[in-house]
Amino acid sequence: MSKRIHILLTILMVAMLALSACGGKSKEAEPPAQEAAPLAQEAAPTEAPAVEEAAPTEAPAAEEAPAAKEAAPAEEAAVDPVIAGFDEYLSNIPEGYMVVKTAEDVQEAMDNGALMIDVREPDEYAEGHIPGAINIPLRTLAQNLDKVPTDRPVILYCSSGHRAGMGLGSLAALGYSNARSYHASWKGWTAADGEVSTEAVEGETYKVPDIDADMLAAVDDFLSNIPDGWLVVKTADDVQEAVDNGAALVDVRTPDEYAEGYILDATNVPLRTLAKNLDEIPADQPVIVYCGSGHRAAMATAALQTMGRTNVKAYPASYQGWVAAHEEAGEAEPVTATEAVTATEEMTATEEVTTTEGVPAEVEEAMESGFSVTAAVDEFFSNIPEGYQAVGDIDVFKDMMENGNIYLVDVRTPDEYAEGHIPGAVNVPLLTIADNLDKIPIDQPVMLYCSSGHRAAMSLASLDMLGYTNVKSFPPGWKGWSAAEEEVSTDVVEPGEFDMPEVNPEMLAAVAEFLTNIPEGYYAIGTAEKLQGAMDAGAELIDVRQPEEYAEGAIDDAINIPIRELGKHLDEIPADKTVVVYCGTGHRAAMSLAGLQVAGLTNVRSFPPSYKGWVAANE
The catalytic site residues sit at 450
Closest CA to 596 of 579, 614, 616: 579
In the Cβ-directed half-sphere of 64, how many Cα atoms lie within 13 Å? 25
CA distance 529 to 439: 39
Q: How far is CA 436 from CA 233, 440, 499, 593, 599, in A?
A: 22, 7, 11, 21, 22
Closest CA to 176 of 137, 214, 147: 147
Distance CA 47, CA 40 (A): 7
Interacting residues of 101 by C-beta distance below 8 A, sequence separation 6+: 183, 184
**Buried b / exposed e along 583-612 (16+ C-beta atoms within 10 A):** bbbbbbbbbbbbbbbbbbbbbbbbbbbbbe
Distance (Å, whole) CA 591 – CA 94: 48
Closest CA to 486 of 417, 407, 423, 424: 423
Is 248 within 8 Å of 267 (Cβ atoms)?
yes
SS3 497: coil
SS3 readout for 133-168? CEECCHHHHHHCHHHCCCCCCEEEECCCCHHHHHHH
